[in-house]
Chains A and B, each alone.
Chain A
Amino acid sequence: MTLLHLVRKSAFETSDFQQCIDTLAFGDQVVLLDDGCYNMRHTLMNKLTEVMVIKVHADARAIAIQAGTLAISMAELIDLTFKHNSVITWQ
């Protein structure tokens, strides 16, 4: 059983990203989208090894995609949803 975590809120504003990290299990994957892109600038990122981000959402906000973070498209996000048993949205 693995989950795909979609993080849509800024960790500077809410504790959603923290709650997501607390809920992670082996094999889960995390995607940052919408205001979740701002989390690339948050220290909570140090707790994660493999994070993905929707490229256009980060580019629109002028948030640079940091090393170790994989930029993906919306089409790739859809593929990811089929790789996991379920999807959880943090919003």
Chain B
Amino acid sequence: MTPANEVDNQAQKLVAILNSTAPFSSTNGKDALDLALIFGSYEQVTSLFFQGDGVWQLINNQDATLIQSKDYLKTFAALAFYDIENIYLCQQSLNERGLTDSQFTIGNVIVLNKLEFSEKLHQHNVLFRF
């Protein structure tokens, strides 16, 4: 997979999916993940961004079955098989919620400060926010 910052000269567009809502009270998180996997299956270069309450989607030990929801969170583990390896988290959003970067269900997340997060987002051509 080509790193995002080296693709500028190529024809392929970079897709960013920005998650900013908590996992269970809406279908936003699941819709975003479904979209990411569809892009992934067409080998479209796609990055996932998590900001605000979106960061709750990635924390360990969640159990959707307790509230009779479908547990789409387990599907995050499939991202690697679809070559979606750029997963960015906003440091400020983690700080506000008292979260540390050791609490996530997927290992290869990249925590960025506000400026870096913005810069990384600007490197993408097509943005979807959920």
Binding site for B on A (CB under 8 A): 8, 10, 12-13, 34-35, 38, 41, 56-57, 59-62
Contacts of A38 in B (CB 8 A): 22, 53, 56, 97
Q: Are B52 and A60 in contact (CB under 8 A)?
A: no
The answer to whether B66 has its CB under 8 Å from any CB of chain A is yes
Q: How many of chain B's residues touch chain A, expressed as a range?
A: 20 to 34
Task: Give how many A-B residue pairs fall within 8 Å (CB-CB).
Answer: 47
Residues of B within 8 A of A61 (CB): 22-24, 56, 62
Does B8 belong to the interface (CB within 8 Å)? no
Distance to closest chain B CB from A61 (angstroms): 6
Interface centre among A10, A13, A60 (most CB of B within 10 A): A60
Is B61 among interface residues, defined by CB-CB distance under 8 A? yes
